[in-house]
Amino acid sequence: MQRNAIEPILGALVLVAAFAFLVFAYNKAGQRSFSGYPLTARFSSIDGLETGSDVRIGGVKIGQVTNIDIDPQTYLAMVKLTVAPEIKIPTDSVASITTEGLLGGKYLGLEPGVSDNMLKPGGLITHTEASVSLEGLIGKFMYSGGGDSKSSGGSTGGAPANAPTSGGNAPAPSAPSHP
């Protein structure tokens, strides 16, 4: 009879732990709605930016990307974002898509301008810098020979043809021996 009383209690504890985990995951995901005023920016490329991505100034989160769409007339990506109401963005600010690290996600970075005029709710950030594709940069590097000149008379590594190379037939210096 005692076994039957423990099973419901243990089941309830498991449910409480699962609920606590879901609340923790929801709070850490940062996908909650962000209150503030809306702005829009147009980019030629937004590789990796997603709805819910951070909007940051100097690495500090001040907003969130709320919508990504395409302008059918200009074929530019239209990014709608929300910025905290206490943060005022000058009209000459620059918006750029930045990577958190080598393998990290993307966020929208704002570099405040110096204008005394501030963007109004629903305003357009006119100065933007498109996302740089890491895959594209690696592809360019690989297919360009890694920076080597193909017309250097057959030499490798960009060194002159008559310069000594570390991979030649010269013997490696030996380490001094101590008795």
pLDDT in tens, 9-37: 888 999 999 998 888 877 666 555 668 99
User: Within a domain: residue 127?
Assistant: yes
Q: Which residues of the chain have pLDDT under 50?
A: 150-170
pLDDT, residue 18, reads 92
Which residues constitute the domain of residue 84? Answer: 37-136
User: Within a domain: residue 164?
Assistant: no
Reported as a single tens digit per residue, the pLDDT across 73-96 is 999 999 999 999 999 999 999 999
User: Within a domain: residue 1?
Assistant: no
Whether the CB-CB separation of 91 and 113 falls below 8 Å is answered with yes
User: Within a domain: residue 74?
Assistant: yes
**Reported pTM:** 0.61
Tell me how many domains the chain contains: 1
User: Within a domain: residue 179?
Assistant: no
User: Within a domain: residue 10?
Assistant: no
Tracing tokens 């013997």 back to the chain, one arrives at 171
User: Within a domain: residue 80?
Assistant: yes
User: Within a domain: residue 132?
Assistant: yes
The β-bridge relationship of strands 127-129 and 94-99 is parallel
